[in-house]
């Protein structure tokens, strides 16, 4: 499983450590779930812990063989975190002494290394702490363990793809990314259900939301009196209510059932709210919307093509898309990333109500965002790096100063051409 872009033949070869990457030039063998797979993992885990000792920070069974009832390639996927996967001298000799063989080295992508096992078909994926893949593996695995319908959906797509011929196994893995991202998207939406109330309380009074983000979106949306507005990623409904207060006919949609429930309770008298996954087709007629607002939602999606195409479909000619995303410069700087031009999955913590609430989103360069909007057929009308509302200085002077002096979010007004 991978969240990186599909690899070219040259990139596959470049990552291979010794000689040429093996070519499949065939279909992919899938077998029914084997209850011995967890036992094989435990055997490998004991061997790895014996070789590395305290250098093992995380060691988990992931991938299809970790999900009871799921068909899979007969290969045990293991994720291992060590203090620094780039420091191969600290762990590679010990793993080699235990019989593992380094086959893939991708230092520019999550500091990833992959080893094959000594006597079992194993993919041992090695990362450093804070990588984006470990939480992704866990979320996907746990979602399929808890939801048989997701497991069966994934199994059906695997069998469909496995019946085709592939030059490299990696090509088959890349082809599964779309369904994997779809399942993970639903898993993330469900995570929000657990802290919908806490988020609603936070978003209602947060300077960043109430006195920075929402005023900027309202400004870009323009005069909405009498217009049909689709508020995407409406969360607890605060922006939807403000739009309705300006005379708009508002439909707020969010992937989280918990968020929609809060929005209906708090603002159901002024706007309509429905649960919807914006990575999939919306139940709206062509040209039925005048304005689409998407406040801090698109960075949760890896690929924007389908979503922007759907926005373009439901907007009338000349309709407006007003959206905000994390500022690319801020994410790059804040998370200390080496390569600004990478599209990377990041993890942060909302830290609401004194409890950890992990959130995962993608950072990407500004050029990527412009290209996605352009390729969807929109014309960018305005690009804004706003200042907080004047009231922010009294509400939270320190945070207001931060918002006035450092980039936080980036705002676009795009128009669907006639």
Given a contact cutoff of 8 angstroms between Cβ atoms, the answer to whether 65 and 37 are in contact is yes
Please say if the pLDDT value at position 300 is more than 60.
Answer: yes
**Does the pLDDT of residue 1 top 70, yes or no?**
no
Top-confidence residue, 195 or 55:
55
Higher pLDDT, 350 or 403: 403
Give dist(CA 108, CA 237) in Å, integer.
40
Give residue for tokens 């062509």. 286
pLDDT band at residue 350 using 50, 70 and 90 as cut-offs: low
Question: 104: how many CB neighbours lie within 10 A of its CB?
Answer: 19
Position with higher pLDDT, 15 vs 291: 291
At residue 279, the pLDDT reads: 82
Q: pLDDT by residue (tens digit) across 26-59?
A: 999 999 999 999 999 999 999 999 999 999 999 9
**What number of other Cβ atoms are within 10 A of residue 223's Cβ?**
10
pLDDT of residue 189: 77
Task: Check whether 359 has a pLDDT greater than 80.
Answer: no
What is the per-residue pLDDT across 62-73, written as a single tens digit (0 to 9) for each?
A: 999 999 999 999
Tokens of 264: 């209906």
**Chain mean pLDDT for the chain:** 92
Question: Is 351 within 8 Å of 357 (Cβ atoms)?
Answer: yes
The answer to whether 219 and 383 are in contact (CB under 8 A) is no
pLDDT value of position 159: 97
Mean pLDDT of 71-91: 98
Strand order in the sheet with 249-254: 272-275, 249-254, 228-232, 289-295, 315-326, 409-415, 379-384
Residue 2 has pLDDT above 60, yes or no: no
How much of the chain exceeds pLDDT 90, in percent? 75
Task: Select the more confidently predicted residue: 186 or 85.
Answer: 85
* Nearest residue to 262 via CA among 198, 218, 217, 355: 198
State residue 110 phi and psi, 5-degree precision: 60, 20
Report how far residue 215's alpha carbon sits from residue 207's, in angstroms, rounded to the nearest whole number. 11
Helix or strand (DSSP H, E) at 278 = none
Q: In the chain, what percentage of residues exceed pLDDT 70?
A: 96
């Amino acid at each position: 499983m991978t969240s990186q872009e599909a690899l070219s033949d040259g990139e596959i070869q470049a990552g291979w450590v010794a000689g040429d990457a093996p070519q499949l030039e065939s279909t992919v063998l899938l077998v029914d779930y084997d209850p011995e797979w967890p036992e094989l993992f435990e055997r490998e885990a004991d061997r790895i812990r014996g070789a590395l000792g305290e250098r093992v920070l995380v060691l988990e069974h992931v991938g299809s063989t970790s999900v009871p009832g799921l068909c899979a390639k007969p290969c045990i996927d293991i994720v291992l975190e060590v203090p620094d996967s780039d420091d191969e001298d600290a762990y590679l000799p010990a793993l080699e002494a235990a019989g593992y063989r380094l086959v893939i080295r991708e230092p520019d992508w999550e500091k990833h290394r992959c080893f094959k096992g000594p006597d079992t078909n194993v993919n041992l994926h090695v990362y450093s702490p804070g990588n984006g893949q470990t939480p992704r593996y866990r979320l996907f695995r746990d979602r399929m363990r808890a939801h048989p319908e997701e497991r069966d959906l994934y199994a059906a797509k695997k069998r469909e793809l496995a019946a085709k011929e592939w030059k490299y196994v990696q090509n088959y893995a890349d082809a599964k990314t779309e369904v994997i991202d779809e399942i993970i998207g639903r898993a993330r939406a469900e995570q929000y259900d657990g802290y919908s109330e806490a988020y609603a309380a936070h978003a209602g009074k947060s300077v960043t939301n109430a006195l920075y983000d929402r005023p900027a979106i309202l400004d870009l949306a323009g005069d909405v009196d009498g217009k049909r507005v689709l508020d995407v990623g409406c969360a607890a409904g605060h922006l939807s209510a403000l739009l309705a207060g300006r005379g708009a006919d508002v439909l707020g949609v969010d992937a989280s059932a918990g968020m929609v429930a809060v929005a209906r309770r708090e603002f159901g008298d002024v706007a309509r709210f429905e649960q919807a996954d914006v990575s999939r087709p919306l139940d709206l007629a062509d040209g039925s919307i005048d304005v689409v607002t998407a406040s801090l939602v698109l960075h949760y999606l890896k690929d924007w093509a389908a979503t922007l195409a759907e926005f373009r479909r439901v907007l009338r000619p000349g309709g407006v898309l007003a959206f905000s995303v994390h500022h690319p410069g801020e994410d790059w700087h804040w998370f200390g990333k080496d390569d600004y031009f990478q599209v990377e999955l990041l993890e942060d913590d909302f830290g609401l109500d004194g409890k950890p609430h992990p959130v995962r989103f993608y950072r990407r360069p500004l050029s990527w965002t412009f290209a996605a909007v352009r390729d969807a057929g929109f014309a960018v009308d305005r690009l804004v790096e706003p200042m907080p509302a004047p009231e922010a200085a009294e509400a939270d002077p320190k945070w207001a100063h931060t918002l006035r002096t450092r980039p936080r979010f980036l705002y676009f007004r795009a128009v669907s051409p006639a």
